[in-house]
Chain A
Amino acid sequence: MNEEQKQEYYKKYKKEKQKGVKFYPDIVYKDIIVSFGLFLLLIGLATFVGVDSAPKADPSDTTYIPRPEWYFLFLFQMLKYFPGQLEWVGTAIIPAIAVLALILLPFFDRNPKRFWRKRKLAISIMTVIVIGIVALTVVAVVTTPAQEESGTLAGTISEKIVAGEELYGLYCVECHGADGEGGEIIGVEGLEGVEVKSISSQDEMYTRSDETFFNIIGFGQGSLGMPPFSKAYAGELGPGEIEAIVAFMRYTWDDRIEIPAEAAQASAIPELAPDEVPSYEVHIVPIVKRYCISCHRPGKKNGEYFITTYDEVMQSGDYAPNVIPGDLTSNLIRMIHREEIEAGGPMPPTKALKPELIDIFERWVLGGAPNTVDDAAAASTGSAEPPSEETLPTGTPTPSP
C-alpha cells in the first residue's frame, strides 16, 4: 500500500468508528453471551458425552489402528496420496509451504481491496483449501476401520455370559468369592485378612457402570489390592474377555436385568437323578471351576493341591490323596464340611458350599469317584467298585483357563 491508500484507509476507518458502537458494553456483551453458551456446551459435552476410555498403552499390540485426534486426520489422509518415494512431499514440502504461505499471506497478497468481489482469487484459493481439508477429514473418518479389539470373544450375549462366568471362576473367586460376596480374604498370598466389599450387592450394581467395571478389572485398584487384569497392564485378559466378565457380573447380579434363559441353563450345575452316580467330567468340573480352581491352580497358595484335571484331583497335594474313592473321611469331604484338619481349614475358606453341592461331592466319592460318564454309569448299575486301573490315569482335558 502506498501512502495515499493508507491515508484513505484511516479516513474510512474513522468514519466507520463514528457510525459504530462502544466496545463496552456492546461488544463485551456479545462476547459474554457466546462464551457463556460455550461454557454450557462444554459442561453438556462433559456430562452427557464424556470422554472415551481406551485401554492402557501396550507397545506390543501392533494390531491397534492408530487414530490421531480428529483435527489431524486430514493430514494423515493427505499422506496416503503420496506413497513410497514421494512421501516426503506430503510430510515435509506441502506442510512447510502451507505454513509459510499462511504466515506470509499479508505480505504477498498485495491487493489493497477488501471487499470480497474485488479479491476473488484469494477467496477462491482459500475456499478450495478449506473444502479440501473438510473433505479429507470426512474421507479419513469414513475409511478408518473400526478398531478390532484383540481378545474379543465371539458370539451372543449368552455365550459371553457363560465365558465370563468361567473366567470369573478362574481369576476372581479367590478374592471375591464365587458369588462376589466379598468378606475377609483367606488363603490368598499377600492379601490374607484384607476385607473386600461385596461386588455383587445392589449398591455396587446400581452405582457402577459397565465401563467402570471394565476399567477397574483392566487397570486394577492398586492401592486397595485389586490387581490389574488387562494384558496392557501385564495382566492375562484381553478387552473381550474383560467385557465377558462384566457381562457375567451384570446379568447375574444386577436385579434390574434378567439373565437370558440360554445362559442360565448353560451355567447351571447339571441335575442328578436320585440314585445316579455323579461323574468328574459332568458334575464335579462345573463345581470346582466355579468354587475352587481360582485358588487350586499352579502359582497360588493351595497346599500344592491342583484341581485342574482328574489326575490332579485324585493325586496331587501336600496331604495327598485328598480324595479316596468310597471314603467319606477323605480330606476333601471333611474340608468342605468345614472341618479343620491337618491338611488345612474349611474349603472354600470363606463361604460354605451349598448343601446340594456337598451332596454331589459325597455321592461322587461314595460311587467310587468315577472320571467319565461311562464309569459313573457302570458304577450306578450295581458294582460300586472303584474305577479300573486303566481309566484312572487317563484324566479329562484340562478345564481351559
Chain B
Amino acid sequence: MAAKILDWLDERLGIKTVYDTVLDRDVPKVNWWFTLGSASLFLFVMQGITGIFLTVYYVPTPDHAADSILYIMNGVDFGWLIRGIHHWGASLMVIFVFIHMLRTFYCAAYKFPRELTWVTGVILLLATLGMGFTGYLLPMNQRSYWATTVGTEIAATVPFIGTFIMRVLRGGTDISAVTLARFFSAHIWILPAVLVLTISIHMYLIVRLGISSIPKEDD
C-alpha cells in the first residue's frame, strides 16, 4: 500500500529523483566543522518559528512595545521560553554563521566552482547581522533605544549621504514610531524574505556542486 502511494506520488512529484539527488548523493568524507551550515539553517528555522509566535502578542508601537514584551514574559504561558529562545538564538546564529564562514574560508571552499555559494553566503551574513540590528530595537527599552540611537547616528557620519541614510533608517530626524514601524517591517518581512530567498539559492548551489572535500597536501 505504502509503495503504491509512493509510486503514485512519484509519478506526479518525482520524489525519487529528489531523493536521489538530494539525499542519496555521494559526498566526500568530511568532519564536524561541516555541520555548521546546517546548524545555521536550524537556528534560522527556530528564529522563524519563535518569531512568528512572538508577533502574536508583540505590538510594534512605542507606547505598547515594552508592555507587550513584559506581558509575553509574565502573562503568556511559556512566553518567556519563546522569547528566551528567540533572544539567544539570535546570538547563536551570528556566532554559527560567522564560524561557518571561517570554516568555508579555511577550507578554500569559496574557490572554483563555488564562488557564488560564497557570494550568497556573504549576503546571508549581512542579512543575519541586519536581523540582529533591527530586532534589537523592537523591545523599545532603554538598552534598545540608545543602542539604536548611536547605531543610526553612525550612519550620519558617512560623507555626503550620511544624513540621508540616517533619515531613511529613522524615518525622520529622531527615533520614533516611524523608526519602530520600519525596523519591525524589516525584521519580520524584508530581511526574512531576503534570507529565505538567498538560503534557497545557497542550498541549490550546495546540492548542485556538492560539498567540497577537505583540502589535501596536493590540492
The 11 sampled A-B contact pairs (Cβ below 8 Å) are A1-B111, A13-B213, A38-B96, A45-B88, A54-B144, A72-B129, A107-B115, A115-B108, A115-B219, A123-B106, A215-B73
Task: Find the B residue at minimum CB distance from A222.
Answer: B67
Judge whether A68 and B30 touch: CB under 8 Å: no
Q: In the complex, what distance in Å separates the CA atom of A19 from the CA atom of B147?
A: 51
Judge whether A23 and B142 touch: CB under 8 Å: no
Count residues on chain B whose CB falls below 8 Å from chain A CBs: 87
Number of residue pairs A-B, CB distance < 8 angstroms: 237
Sort A-B residue pairs by CB-CB distance and give the 10 closest, nearest first.
Answer: A46-B84, A57-B145, A106-B115, A24-B23, A114-B215, A16-B213, A54-B141, A114-B108, A66-B146, A16-B28
Judge whether B110 and A35 touch: CB under 8 Å: no
Residues 143-180 of B at the A interface (beta carbon under 8 Å): 143-147, 149-151, 154-155, 157-159, 162, 174-175
Asked whether A42 and B30 contact (CB < 8 A) given A6-B112, A57-B140, A88-B157, the answer is no
Residues 262-316 of A at the B interface (beta carbon under 8 Å): none
> Is A76 among interface residues, defined by CB-CB distance under 8 A?
yes
Judge whether B143 and A54 touch: CB under 8 Å: yes
Instruction: State the A residues within 8 Å of B (CB).
Output: 1, 5-6, 9, 12-13, 16-24, 26-28, 30-31, 33-35, 38-39, 41-43, 45-47, 49-59, 61, 64-72, 75-76, 79, 87-88, 91-92, 99, 102-103, 105-107, 109, 112-117, 119, 123, 126, 130, 212, 215-216, 219, 222, 232-233
> Is B16 among interface residues, defined by CB-CB distance under 8 A?
no
Q: In the complex, what distance in Å separates the CA atom of A91 from the CA atom of B94?
A: 21
Judge whether B26 and A67 touch: CB under 8 Å: no
Give the contact stretch, choosing among B118-126, B185-193, B197-205. B118-126
Judge whether A76 and B23 touch: CB under 8 Å: no
B166 to chain A, nearest CB (A): 11
Judge whether B87 and A46 touch: CB under 8 Å: yes
How would you classify the secondary structure of chain B's contact residues: helix, strand, loop or mixed? helix
> Is B52 among interface residues, defined by CB-CB distance under 8 A?
no
Task: Find the B residue at minimum CB distance from A24.
Answer: B23
Query: Which residues of B lie under 8 Å from residue A59 when comparing CB positions?
Result: 145, 174-175
Task: Find the A residue at minimum CB distance from B132.
Answer: A69
Judge whether B92 and A219 touch: CB under 8 Å: no
Judge whether B141 and A112 touch: CB under 8 Å: no
Task: Find the A residue at minimum CB distance from B114.
Answer: A106
Q: In the complex, what distance in Å separates the CA atom of A34 from the CA atom of B110?
A: 23
A5, A119, A219: the one within 8 Å of B66 (CB):
A219
Residues 58-110 of B at the A interface (beta carbon under 8 Å): 62, 66-67, 70, 73-74, 80-81, 83-85, 87-92, 94-96, 102, 105-108, 110
B97 to chain A, nearest CB (A): 10
Q: In the complex, what distance in Å separates the CA atom of A219 from the CA atom of B94?
A: 31
B23, B39, B155: the one within 8 Å of A38 (CB):
B39
Judge whether B46 and A39 touch: CB under 8 Å: yes
> Is B136 among interface residues, defined by CB-CB distance under 8 A?
yes
Judge whether B84 and A57 touch: CB under 8 Å: no
Judge whether A23 and B28 touch: CB under 8 Å: no
Q: In the complex, what distance in Å separates the CA atom of A126 from the CA atom of B122?
A: 15
Judge whether A34 and B66 touch: CB under 8 Å: no
Q: In the complex, what distance in Å separates the CA atom of A104 from the CA atom of B115?
A: 9
Q: In the complex, what distance in Å separates the CA atom of A360 from the CA atom of B38?
A: 75
A27 to chain B, nearest CB (A): 6
> Is B24 among interface residues, defined by CB-CB distance under 8 A?
yes
Q: Name the residue in B22, B129, B215 with the highest tally of chain A Cβ atoms < 10 Å from its Cβ.
A: B215
Asked whether A20 and B157 contact (CB < 8 A) given A39-B46, A106-B111, A212-B74, the answer is no
A279 to chain B, nearest CB (A): 45
Judge whether A20 and B46 touch: CB under 8 Å: no
